[in-house]
A and B are shown apart, each in its own frame.
Chain A
Amino acid sequence: MIYTAKKDVNSACKIVAEDMLLTTDMPTAAGSKMLDGYMSLLEAEVLTILKDKGYGVCGKADVGEFAIDLLGETSYNGANTADGKLLNSSSEILKANEADAVIALDVNGTTRRAAAQNGLVSVKPTYGTVSRYGTVPVACSGETVSVMAKDAKTCRKVLDDIAGHDDKDGTSLPESEIAKKADAKEIKRIAIINDMMADVSDDVKANIDSAVAKLDVEVVNIDSSVIASSRPAWNILMSAELCNNVSRYDGVKYGHRAEKFSGIDELYTNSRTEAFGDLLKTAIIFGSETLSTENYMKVYDKALRTRRVIVEEFAKIFAEFDAVMIPACSKAFYTEDDVKADKYVSYKENFYTAPASITGLPAVVAGGVQLIGKAFSENALLELASKI
Chain B
Amino acid sequence: MKYETVIGLEVHVELATQSKIFCSCSAHSYGAEPNEHVCPACCGMPGMLPVVNKRVVDYGMKAGLMLGCHINRVTTFDKKSYYYPDLPAAYQTTQWFAPVAVNGLVEIETSKGKKGVRIKQIHMEEDAGKLVHDIREDTTHVDFNRTSVPLIEIVSQPDLSSAEEVVAYLDRLKNLLRYARVAECEMAHGTMRCDVNLSVRPEGSDKLGVRTEMKNMNSIEAIKRAIEYETARHIDALENNTEVLVQETRRWDDIKGKSFAMRTKETAGDYRYFPDPNVMPVVIDDNWFDEIKSSLPEFPEVKRERYMSEYGLGEYDTEQITKSIALCECFEEAAKTCGDAKNAANWIISEVMSILNLRQMTYDMLTVSGKSLGELITLVSGGKVGRANAKKILAAMFDDASINPEEYANANGFVISNDTGLIDKVVKEVVESDPKSVADYKGGKEKALMALFGRCMKELKGNCDPQTLRKILIEYIDKI
Contacts and interface: CB of A to CB of B under 8 A. Distances in A.
Interface of A: 22, 30, 40-42, 44, 132-137, 140-141, 167-171, 240-241, 243-245, 247-248, 250, 252-254, 264, 268, 288, 291-293, 296, 300, 304
Q: Which of B88, B273, B274 has the most CB of A within 10 A?
A: B274
Contact of B47 (A134, A240, A250, A268): A134
Nearest to A132: B49
Given A41-B40, A170-B51, A291-B272, A248 B46 contact: yes
B83 A133 contact: no
A293 B279 CA distance: 22
A318 B458 CA distance: 91
B270 interface: yes
Contact of A253 (B43, B48, B49, B50): B43
A42 B42 CA distance: 13
Contacts of B275: 304
B164 to A, nearest CB: 36
Interface in B10-49: 40, 43-49
A44 to B, nearest CB: 7
Contacts of B270: 291-293
Contacts of A141: 277
Nearest to B131: A264
Contacts of A247: 81, 83, 89-91
Contacts of B85: 250, 252, 264
Given A40-B46, A170-B50, A248-B91, 7 more contacts: A40-B47, A133-B49, A136-B47, A168-B48, A169-B51, A268-B83, A296-B273
A136 B46 contact: yes
A171 B277 contact: yes
Contacts of B277: 140-141, 171, 241
Contacts of B278: 137, 140, 170-171
B313 interface: no
Given A248-B90, A291-B274, A300-B274, A42 B44 contact: no
B142 interface: yes
Nearest to A268: B83
B52 A133 contact: no
Nearest to A293: B270
B47 A135 contact: yes
A17 to B, nearest CB: 13
Contacts of A245: 46
Given A42-B40, A252-B142, A300-B274, A244 B79 contact: yes
Contacts of A168: 48-49, 51
A41 B79 contact: no
A171 B48 contact: no
B302 to A, nearest CB: 39
Contact of B48 (A42, A291, A304): A42
B264 to A, nearest CB: 14
13 contacts: A41-B40, A42-B47, A141-B277, A170-B51, A170-B279, A170-B280, A245-B46, A252-B88, A253-B45, A268-B83, A291-B81, A296-B273, A304-B275
Contacts of B46: 22, 30, 40, 136-137, 245, 248
Nearest to B77: A170
Nearest to A267: B85
Contacts of A42: 40, 45, 47-48
B335 to A, nearest CB: 44
Contact of B45 (A40, A135, A171): A40
Given A247-B89, A291-B273, A169 B142 contact: no
A334 to B, nearest CB: 28
A254 B45 contact: yes
Interface in B79-119: 79, 81, 83, 85, 88-91
For the complex of A and B, the 6 pairs showing the least CB-CB separation, nearest first, are: A247-B90, A141-B277, A291-B272, A248-B89, A248-B44, A140-B277
A240 B51 contact: no
Nearest to B272: A291
A248 to B, nearest CB: 5
A132 B44 CA distance: 16
A250 B44 CA distance: 11
Contacts of B43: 253
A288 B272 contact: yes
Contacts of A40: 40, 45-47
A133 B50 CA distance: 10
A253 to B, nearest CB: 6
B88 A170 contact: no
B47 A44 contact: yes
A133 B47 contact: yes
Interface string B47-85: 111111000000000000000000000000001010101
Contact of A22 (B44, B47, B51, B52): B47
Contacts of A244: 79, 81, 90-91, 272, 274
A41 B49 CA distance: 14
Contacts of A30: 46
B274 A167 contact: no
B44 A253 contact: yes
Nearest to B22: A170
B208 to A, nearest CB: 22
A168 B47 CA distance: 11
A253 B89 CA distance: 10
Nearest to A287: B272
B88 A169 contact: no
Nearest to A133: B49
A296 B40 contact: no
Q: Which of B52, B88, B90 has the most CB of A within 10 A?
A: B90
A182 to B, nearest CB: 24
B44 A292 contact: no
Interface in B277-297: 277-280
Contacts of B81: 243-244, 247, 291
A334 B40 CA distance: 38
Contacts of A253: 43-45, 88, 142
Contacts of A300: 274
B300 to A, nearest CB: 37
A288 B269 CA distance: 12
Nearest to A254: B45
Contacts of A135: 47
Contact of A250 (B49, B52, B90): B90
A42 B46 CA distance: 9
Contacts of A170: 49-52, 278-280
Contacts of A44: 47
Interface string B126-166: 00000000000000001000000000000000000000000
Contacts of B45: 40-42, 248, 253-254
B222 to A, nearest CB: 28
Interface string B398-431: 0000000000000000000000000000000000
Nearest to B265: A265
Interface string B291-320: 000000000000000000000000000000
Contacts of A268: 83
Contacts of B279: 170
Nearest to B49: A169
A36 B48 CA distance: 19
A44 B88 CA distance: 21
A268 B45 CA distance: 16
A248 B272 contact: no
A292 B83 contact: no
Contacts of A291: 81, 270, 272-274
Contacts of B274: 240, 244, 291, 296, 300
Contact of B280 (A171, A254, A292): A171
A245 B279 CA distance: 14
A270 to B, nearest CB: 13
Contacts of B44: 248, 253
A253 B274 CA distance: 25
